[in-house]
């Protein structure tokens, strides 16, 4: 493909800065501009194409894997048990729920990506999300029979 000629008007400070950078790199100003355009076009192309399709495919795979659990669950406990059988669990995240891998703790996706938002599930199960089990209360004071050892 033949090269195309392009005439561009640059503000003087930008022109001087680009010329200085090209000089320090030992390359012509034209090469610096072409390289910068190549980087920017590649970045724009990646953002517009690859991640979106990959995310859609990933979420579609997760939907297929967990659809039965979401469809058949009768309540929150039943849903968590069904998800756990497939290696996942729901946890509160942000203002909603997210699906997490039980083994690694990695966040897989938002529950709403699965077509099941916190609000929808709360209405369906007639109960709010139970969340994690309550923590044991912290005693107000330490019992007297605890011995402290000095490390020295």
Judge whether 53 lies within some domain. Answer: no
Judge whether 117 lies within some domain. Answer: yes
User: What radius of gyration, in Å, describes the C-alpha atoms of the chain?
Assistant: 28
Judge whether 78 lies within some domain. Answer: yes
Q: Are both 39 and 70 inside the same structural domain?
A: no
Q: Are both 73 and 98 inside the same structural domain?
A: yes
Judge whether 27 lies within some domain. Answer: yes
Judge whether 147 lies within some domain. Answer: no
Domain that holds residue 40: 12-48
- Asked if pLDDT for residue 88 goes beyond 50, the answer is yes
Judge whether 151 lies within some domain. Answer: no
Contact 112, 90 (CB under 8 A): no
pLDDT in tens, 24-73: 989 999 988 888 887 787 777 765 444 444 488 889 999 999 999 999 99
Q: Are both 43 and 64 inside the same structural domain?
A: no
DSSP 85-138: HTTEEEEEETTEEEEEETTT--EEEEGGGGT--HHHHHHHHTS----SPPPPPP
Judge whether 149 lies within some domain. Answer: no
pLDDT in tens, 140-151: 655 555 555 555
Relative orientation angle of helices 50-72 and 76-85, to the nearest 10 degrees: 120
- Number of domains comprising the chain: 2
What does pTM read for this prediction? 0.54
């Amino acid at each position: 493909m033949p090269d195309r000629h392009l005439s561009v008007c640059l503000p003087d400070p930008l022109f001087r800065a680009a010329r200085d950078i090209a000089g320090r790199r030992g390359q012509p100003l034209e090469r610096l501009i072409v390289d910068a355009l190549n980087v920017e076009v590649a970045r724009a192309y990646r953002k517009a194409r690859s991640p979106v399709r990959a995310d859609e495919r990933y979420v579609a795979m997760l939907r297929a894997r967990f659809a039965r659990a979401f469809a058949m669950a009768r309540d929150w406990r039943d849903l968590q048990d069904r998800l756990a059988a497939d290696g996942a669990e729901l946890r509160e995240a942000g203002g909603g729920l997210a699906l997490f891998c039980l083994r690694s703790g990695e966040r897989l996706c938002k529950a709403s990506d699965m077509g099941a938002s916190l609000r929808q599930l709360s209405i369906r199960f007639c109960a709010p999300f139970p969340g994690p089990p309550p923590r044991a209360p912290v005693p107000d004071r330490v019992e007297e029979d605890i011995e402290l050892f000095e490390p020295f």
